[in-house]
Amino acid sequence: MPSIEELYALEILDSRGRPTVQATCTLGSGACGTASVPSGSSTGRAEAWELRDGDPSRYGGLGCRTAVTNINGEIRRALSGREIACQAELDRQLCELDGTSTKARLGANAILAVSIAFARAVAQAQAQPLFGYFAGLLGATPRLPQLTVNLFSGGKHAGGQVPIQDVLVVPSSARCVDEALAMVYAVYQAATALCLDKYGMRALTADEGGLAPPFLNADAMICDAVMAIERAGLRPGEDIDLAVDVAASHFFADGCYWLGHERLASHGMITRIRAWLDRYPIISVEDGLAEDDWAAWPDLNTVLQGRALTLGDDLLCTNPARIQRAVEQYAANALLLKVNQVGTLTEAAEACRLARAAGWAVVVSARSGETEDSWLADLATGWAGDFIKVGSITQSERLAKYNRLLEIEARHRLPFGGDHH
């Protein structure tokens, strides 16, 4: 049984230059693990609480010194020298110590940093790769995920020049990560050339590395993605499919979807999404409706059934109770899994288990604020995610994950790709 010898945290910066939390956990055996936590901007309202200092004179209030102090003080005092039976036991103790339903007291950022640092330390103690340890938490058979890679961005990730947030490419005909990345590179290069020709723009990128020219509207954004695939000499809908993160919560106000100059009711939004599906090779629609528009989600799910995944991000917030509700109401059929939305590995595993039990697909996702830590690649592999969603291929905090997938692929003989594409 591992015992925690020492916990140590510090404030580091994420890919947007904002503070986040890194923790190191040392076990009695000497095994040691360090982990950094990501942070979102297009956040769901039901997410666990990311603790920020709120001191406007430092990082505009976004400092994480309080979360760090919570690890170096209270959490360390409670856990160091203690034997911890397993991950679930650690995560339960962290939640109990926090004592709130949203992890608002100690901070979900502090709690998650400890949860993952412990996982890494135990994996090292057991001399197994991190993905193997993660697989053990869920009883899953490791498998490398298919990639979904940001090509074009709008919404909160790109200053809102177009309301929908991301158009992603899915290299469906690839047989391994290595091949998938080479195909994505070709499309990304073609898209860069297209931006220059059509918009007179060099490759200015959004938070997750997607290209962000001034698209006329959402349709143009999706249509340009198809053109980029063709310019790369690949076949849309055969070699490369599309996924869309509509992130509709962020343009929903007063009961309506404000899609550029248009004002759509829920059924109008669903009709629009259906029209996109008729025209473009879209295999996944994330947050096609707003997080609280529960009444309309079953209709969207029905419309998409058999054609594209109804993927819930803000809707579900990796929250077991919300997933349960969505299963019962037939509101979605795929989970976007972001561990920091719920705050511990054990709760994220529970979310994954619920989704799988309902026959859903699982997309393991990074955040817009990421670090160079690569644990997400191990998580997506260990939990046999159908897809991984990391962002684009031009920024090191994204590449840390892709490069880790390449490393896992090269060193371990694992199957690739899920059943859901």
313 in contact with ligand PGA (CB under 6 A)? yes
390-393-394-397 Cα dihedral, nearest 10 degrees? 30
Partner whose binding site includes residue 43, from Zn ion, ligand PGA, none (CB under 5 to 8 Å by kind):
ligand PGA
C-beta closer to ligand PGA: residue 303 or 337 = 337
Query: Which of 5, 208, 370, 397 is the catalytic position?
Result: 208
CB 221 within 8 Å of CB 154: yes
In the block, which residue shows the tokens 């993927």? 311
The whole-angstrom separation of Cα 417 and Cα 413 is 13
Residue from 311, 398, 317, 378 nearest 48 by CA: 317
Task: Tell me whether residue 164 or residue 229 sits nearer to Zn ion (CB atom).
Answer: 164
Report the nearest approach of ligand PGA to the CB of residue 119 (Å).
Answer: 21
Rounded alpha-carbon distances, angstroms, from residue 310 to 65, 306, 332 = 38, 10, 5
Least distance (Å) from ligand PGA to the CB of residue 336?
Answer: 6
Of 76 and 367, which CB lies nearer to ligand PGA in the complex structure? 367
In the set 120, 367, 398, 401, which binds ligand PGA (CB under 6 A)? 367
Q: What is the dihedral of CA 149, 207, 215, 211, to 10 degrees?
A: -50
Q: Please report, as residue ranges, which positions from 301 to 330 form the binding site for Zn ion (by CB under 5 A).
A: 313
For ligand PGA, the nearest residue by Cβ is 40
Q: Does the protein bind Zn ion through residue 350 (CB under 5 A)?
A: no
Site for ligand PGA in 157-186 (CB under 6 A): 165
Could you say which of ligand PGA, Zn ion, none residue 138 binds, taking C-beta under 5 to 8 angstroms by partner kind?
none
CA-nearest of 211, 209, 186 to 198 is: 211
For 40, the token pair is 């979102």
What's the closest the beta carbon of residue 85 comes to ligand PGA, in angstroms?
A: 33
**Nearest residue to 239 via CA among 190, 273, 206, 274:** 190
What is the closest distance, in whole angstroms, from the C-beta atom of residue 380 to ligand PGA in the complex?
14
End-to-end CA distance of the chain: 41
Torsion of Cα atoms, 240 then 242 then 243 then 246, to 10° = 160
* CB-based contacts of 254, cutoff 8 Å, min separation 6: none
Assess 245 for contact with ligand PGA (CB under 6 A).
yes
Among 355, 289, 361, smallest CA distance to 323 is for 355
Tell me, yes or no, if 208 is annotated catalytic.
yes
Q: E strand or H helix at 19, and its extent?
A: strand 19-27
DSSP code for 74: I
- Give the per-residue contact string, 216-255, with Zn ion (x = CB under 5 A; - = no): -----------------------------x----------
Footprint (CB under 6 A) of ligand PGA, residues 15-44:
40-43
Asked if residue 154 binds ligand PGA (CB under 6 A), the reply is no
Interface size with ligand PGA, residues (CB under 6 A): 11
User: How many CB atoms within 10 Å of residue 134?
Assistant: 27
Rounded to the nearest whole angstrom, what is the least distance from the CB of residue 398 to ligand PGA in the complex? 12
Q: Output the smallest distance, CB 130 to ligand PGA, in A.
A: 22
Token pair 């990421």 in the structure block, residue: 370
| Number of residues in the chain | 421
Q: Is 419 exposed, middle or buried (0-12, 13-18, 19+ CB in 10 A)?
A: exposed
| Minimum distance, C-beta of residue 96 to ligand PGA, in the bound complex (Å) | 27
Binding mask 248-287 for Zn ion (x = CB under 5 A): ----------------------------------------
Which entry of ligand PGA, Zn ion, none binds 41, CB below 5 to 8 A by partner kind? Answer: ligand PGA
Name the active-site residue from 156, 338, 389, 401. 338
Catalytic residues: 208, 338
Interface ranges with ligand PGA (CB under 6 A): 40-43, 165, 245, 247, 313, 365, 367-368
Interface ranges with Zn ion (CB under 5 A): 245, 313
